[in-house]
Amino acid sequence: MKVLLIYPKFPDTFWSFKHALKFIHRKAAYPPLGLLTVAAMLPEEWERRLVDLNVEKLDQEDLAWADYCFISAMAVQREAVTKVVARCREAGVKTVAGGPLFTAEYDQFPEVDHFVLNEAEITLPLFLEDLSKGRPQRVYQSSEYPDIRKTPRPSWELLNLKRYAAMSVQFSRGCPFNCEFCNVTALFGHKPRTKTAEQILSELDELYQLGWRDRVFFVDDNFIGNKRYLKEKLLPALIQWRKGKKGMPFNTEASINLADDPELMTLMVEAGFDTVFVGIETPEEEGLAECNKRQNKNRDLVESVKAIQRAGLEVQGGFIVGFDSDKPSIFQRQIEFIQKTGIVTAMVGLLQAPPGTRLYERLKREGRLLGPMSGNTDGTTNIVPRMDPRLLRLGYKRLLETIYSPKNFYSRLRTFLREYGLPRVQNPLTVNRIVAFFEASVRLGIIGKERFQYWSTVFWTLVRRPRLFSLAITLAIHGYHFRKVSASCDVD
């Protein structure tokens, strides 16, 4: 059997880093970890190829070679999925689809031949067994959660690592919280399930042996869901593993209660983590209560962010506007909070309702759904908001323009650099990074409208925090990407 694994193209999004990747001459931020893991679950005798449309084209020769095309995608890739499925159908190749988009909306894709939904550790073997008997069903689903201690290592050999800015690994699935708008628990449950420390070290060893030294993203939706195992097993093992090795800084996602555990933050930094994405959502207590973000309530969110950053973990923040309780003042409140905390990477989106969430079901009962969500921070939403829709879109547009204006962005960058604890691990100095600095100096420091803010921040960093110079340049380049994306936000 010949299987072609296809990952559809991402649009220009906040997390695509499309405009920043040009500085380091990489094609995509991250590889398709789900497809690489599925590839490792296929029978050993099967031939496998990966086509990631974010780094390469899908040729007719690839389609002619394949017996089956396996496709995985998220909601933001919906439009690209339609094109891929059409090409496969035109070429006469059967399609097998899975991943978050299809698990939530498989009935919207009638041209797909087979769906392997939920977690592949359970549903893929069922499909493969039926396929071997010549009677594969169209839909495979399961409400069970697999033991990911049995999940194989991703098939890294299918990748050209040089095309990516970072690699990905997964330690856990599931989250103990129950935010109304989040589909993580709908997909993976409330009880965090973890791989063993030995599994993670094995995956990292393979990447290191392949020559990888850049960033590794732990894609867990809440890395600290099982604090005990982290403290007793994984983090001590990572600290030991890192001895004698160069590069490979880690980043991940975590809930704000990380700030309450100095021991955990210290261990994470010693293990090589330097960045965490935190879902802050809103500084308004009423909004947090509305969406059941209980871990964020009744705390000084500004101080929590600063505590994490002082420990040596850069906080990337997720923010939402459009809650039912939001007043027109929310846009300025968000601006002030983001500036005060020094959150350089602030992803702000309009509230959307993913299928399977409590928010989706509530709004469905209220007759306030407008269709599928975009999954993008593009000024669109799939709900009827309480606030006047045009006022919401205009306020959102102003919020983005304000926080990513050169003046506010670089002011916030200096706030962050002033308070950030020094990381233990840094990306190695490579030719690509040297070239990126010179390109930034031209594109941002000479051609760009932000030239004054750029150079003043460069010299400020050299004098005040010289060991963070490389990070400052990296974040300046990210800011360039964020401004480009923000400028394309649709409010019409």
Q: What is the mean pLDDT of residues 292-298?
A: 96
* Domain contains 154: no
Q: What is the mean pLDDT of the chain?
A: 96
Clarify whether residues 282 and 253 are in a common domain.
yes
User: pLDDT at position 356, please?
Assistant: 93
* Domain contains 469: yes
pLDDT band at residue 455, thresholds of 50, 70 and 90? very high
CA–CA–CA angle 395, 401, 402 (5° rounding): 85
Clarify whether residues 211 and 85 are in a common domain.
no
- Residue 424 above 90 pLDDT? no
Clarify whether residues 129 and 268 are in a common domain.
no
Tokens representing residue 212 in the block = 């990888």
* Residue finishing a domain among 388, 419, 450: 419
Question: Measured between alpha carbons, how far is 8 from 425 in angstroms, rounded to an integer?
Answer: 33
Clarify whether residues 203 and 334 are in a common domain.
yes
pLDDT band at residue 430, thresholds of 50, 70 and 90? confident
- Residue 388 above 90 pLDDT? yes
- Residue 426 above 80 pLDDT? no
User: pLDDT at position 19, please?
Assistant: 96
- Residue 233 above 70 pLDDT? yes
Clarify whether residues 410 and 294 are in a common domain.
yes
User: pLDDT at position 423, please?
Assistant: 87
Question: Measured between alpha carbons, how far is 164 from 160 in angstroms, rounded to an integer?
Answer: 8
Q: What is the mean pLDDT of residues 8-23?
A: 95
* Domain contains 254: yes
* Residue finishing a domain among 385, 419, 453: 419
Question: Measured between alpha carbons, how far is 238 from 201 in angstroms, rounded to an integer?
Answer: 7
Note every long-range contact of 386-395, with CB atoms under 8 Å and residues 24 or more positions apart, other chains counting. Answer: 386/324, 386/325, 386/326, 387/322, 387/326, 387/327, 387/328, 390/491, 391/328, 392/321, 392/322, 392/350, 393/350, 393/491, 394/491, 395/321, 395/328, 395/330, 395/331
Q: What is the DSSP string of 235-279?
A: HHHHHHHHTT-----EEEE--GGGGG-HHHHHHHHHHTEEEEEEE
Q: What is the mean pLDDT of residues 385-414?
A: 97
Clarify whether residues 204 and 280 are in a common domain.
yes
- Residue 489 above 90 pLDDT? no
Q: Whose CA is closest to 91, among 114, 51, 61, 136?
A: 61
Helix (H) or strand (E) run with residue 201 in it = helix 197-209
Which residue range forms the structural domain that includes residue 81? 2-140
- Residue 177 above 80 pLDDT? yes
User: pLDDT at position 491, please?
Assistant: 61
User: pLDDT at position 433, please?
Assistant: 84
For the entire predicted model, the pTM comes to 0.96
Q: What is the mean pLDDT of residues 321-339?
A: 98
* Domain contains 425: no
Amino acid at residue number 3:
V
Clarify whether residues 109 and 232 are in a common domain.
no
pLDDT in tens, 408-421: 999 999 999 999 99
pLDDT in tens, 88-116: 999 999 999 999 999 999 999 999 999 99
Clarify whether residues 131 and 203 are in a common domain.
no
pLDDT in tens, 60-85: 999 999 999 999 999 999 999 999 99
* Domain contains 426: no
Is residue 339 within 8 Å of 303, Cβ to Cβ?
no
User: pLDDT at position 492, please?
Assistant: 58
Clarify whether residues 172 and 57 are in a common domain.
no
Clarify whether residues 477 and 387 are in a common domain.
no
* Domain contains 147: no
Is residue 27 within 8 Å of 164, Cβ to Cβ?
yes
User: pLDDT at position 407, please?
Assistant: 97
User: pLDDT at position 425, please?
Assistant: 86
C-beta neighbour count of 469 within 10 angstroms:
14
Tokens representing residue 489 in the block = 């936000």
Clarify whether residues 189 and 92 are in a common domain.
no
Clarify whether residues 210 and 329 are in a common domain.
yes
Count up the domains in the chain and report the number: 3
In this structure, what CATH number is given to the domain that contains residue 95?
3.40.50.280
Percent of the chain clearing pLDDT 90 (strictly above): 95
Percent of the chain clearing pLDDT 70 (strictly above): 99
Residue 204 CA to chain centroid, in angstroms? 19
User: pLDDT at position 490, please?
Assistant: 64
- Residue 268 above 80 pLDDT? yes
Question: Measured between alpha carbons, how far is 279 from 358 in angstroms, rounded to an integer?
Answer: 18
pLDDT band at residue 142, thresholds of 50, 70 and 90? very high
User: pLDDT at position 432, please?
Assistant: 81
* Domain contains 248: yes
* Residue finishing a domain among 392, 419, 446: 419
* Domain contains 151: no
Q: What is the mean pLDDT of residues 262-281?
A: 98
In this structure, what CATH number is given to the domain that contains residue 307?
3.80.30.20
